Amino acid sequence: MLSLEPGTYRIINIARKKALRVPDESTNTITSWQVQDEPNQKVCRVNCGHGKYLSVHNTQCNSQVYHGSPTTWKIIPRTSSGYLYVICYYCYYFASYVPSTFIGFNSKLSIACLTCTIAERCETGDESKETEGIIPSGQPEGDDSTSRDESVTKKPLPALDPIAIRDIQIAQQARRIQLLEAQLSQRDQEIERLHDEVAVLKSQESSQVSALHERTMELEKLVEKESKRPNNAA
C-alpha cells in the first residue's frame, strides 16, 4: 500500500489534463485549471495529526469543496457501504450532486473525475486502493488510458443525507446573500459619496452666488454714488 507522508499534494483530473487550484481572487473556493506546478494548485494537504486534506480552511464533516460551477463537491464521513478516499485517521469520500460523477482514483497515483462505475472499485474493501489517487506536486501525471477500469463490480452508492444537502443549500444561499449584501453596501457607499459631492457643489454654488450678489450691490452703490456727483464738465 502506498505510504503517504504529511505534506501538500496536487489533485489532477487526467482525463481533462487539469488540476484543482485555489483562485487568487477567491481564496475560499477550489476550481479546476490547466496542470502547472504552481502554489495555488497544491491544495491537497495531508496531516497525520489531524487528517486534513483538500481544504482551504477546514475539512469538517459536511463542509464544502467548490470545484467550479455549477458542480459542488461535499466531504462526507465514511459509511458502512465503503469509502472512496482514506487519508491518515479520518475517512471521507467525495460525492457530486451530478449522479454520474465522482472524484476517484486510477492506477497511476493520480486523481481523476470518474463515473460512478469507475469510482465504485474503491468501495470493494481492497486495502491496496485506499491511498491511490494522490501524487506529490511535481511528479508526472498518469496516462489518460489508465483512468478507466471496466472490470469493476457495480454496487449501489450510499445516498446523500437530505439534511446535509439542505445545510449545503442553506450555506450556498447564505454565501449569495453575503455577496449581495456586500454589493449593496458598496452601492450605498457610492451613493453616499455622490450625495456628499452634490452637497459640496451646492455649498460652493451658494457661496459663489452670495459673492456675486455682494459684488453686484457694491457696483450698484458705486453707480449711484457716481451719478450724484456734480457734472465735471462745468
Q: Would the pTM count as exceeding 0.95?
A: no
pLDDT by position in tens, the chain (length 234): 334 344 444 555 545 556 555 556 665 555 555 655 555 444 444 332 333 334 333 333 333 444 333 333 343 343 444 333 322 222 233 333 333 333 433 333 333 333 333 333 333 333 333 333 333 333 333 333 233 333 333 334 344 456 656 666 777 777 788 888 888 888 888 888 888 888 888 888 888 888 888 888 888 888 888 887 776 544
Parallel, antiparallel, or unpaired: how do β-strands 72-77 and 64-66 relate? Answer: antiparallel
| DSSP-derived secondary structure for 126-184 | -GGGSSTT-EETTSPPPPGGGS--TTPPP-PPPPPPHHHHHHHHHHHHHHHHHHHHHHH
Quick one: DSSP state of residue 8? E
